[in-house]
Chain A
Amino acid sequence: MRIAEVIGRVTLSRLKEELRGGRFLIALPMPLAALTEAAPGRGEDVIVYDVMGAGPGSLIGLSEGREAANPFGKIKTPVDAYCACLIDQLDI
């Protein structure tokens, strides 16, 4: 998981049935300098599946790759980026 900042949302008019119930966020991964010195730099944007209720400005735990689909269990789901937690506090 990387730490990412939510900057927006994508709304879909049609989507695969397995994905109903979730939302799609636009998030930017946070480099070390962004966490320690509030530097403006960010990584490449990622579209993230979310059921936790993250909104613009939220810091999230961004799970990517194979593990991003684990929460769906045996249901095959085409998700490769998943919002795994909403970060309340970073002690850095």
Chain B
Amino acid sequence: MQLGRVVGTATATVKHPTFQAQRMLVVQLETSSGGPDAEPILAFDRLGAGRGDVVLVTNDGRALQELLGPTTPGRWSVIGLPDAGLEKGERR
């Protein structure tokens, strides 16, 4: 599990069938100092996170397979929205 910031949303018409009707966020994972950690990822979200939000994401593919089915090629999903304190810079 890792913290990241939502930088936007992605829309795809042609996609793996298990992605149908799912919300995909573009999330930039962050290091403990708040800097970017590697390239942004596409994460599935059912919690309603929006641009600028800090999110807790998991790279447990099994967790996503529970939601989207065993053949899904997705991996990352949003599992929590931290309290506002984090966004005010407590982490930095």
| Residues of chain A at the chain B interface (Cβ within 8 Å) | 1-3, 29-32, 35-36, 43, 52-53, 61, 63, 65-68, 70-73, 82, 84-92
Contact = CB atoms under 8 A, between A and B. Distances in A.
A68 B76 CA distance: 13
B8 A32 contact: no
A70 B73 CA distance: 6
Contact of A70 (B11, B41, B42, B70): B70
Task: Identify which of A1, A43, A71 gathers the most chain B CB atoms within 10 Å of its CB.
Answer: A1
A29 B36 CA distance: 15
Contacts of A67: 61, 72-75
Contact of A1 (B9, B28, B42, B51): B42
Task: Identify which of A52, A66, A85 gathers the most chain B CB atoms within 10 Å of its CB.
Answer: A85
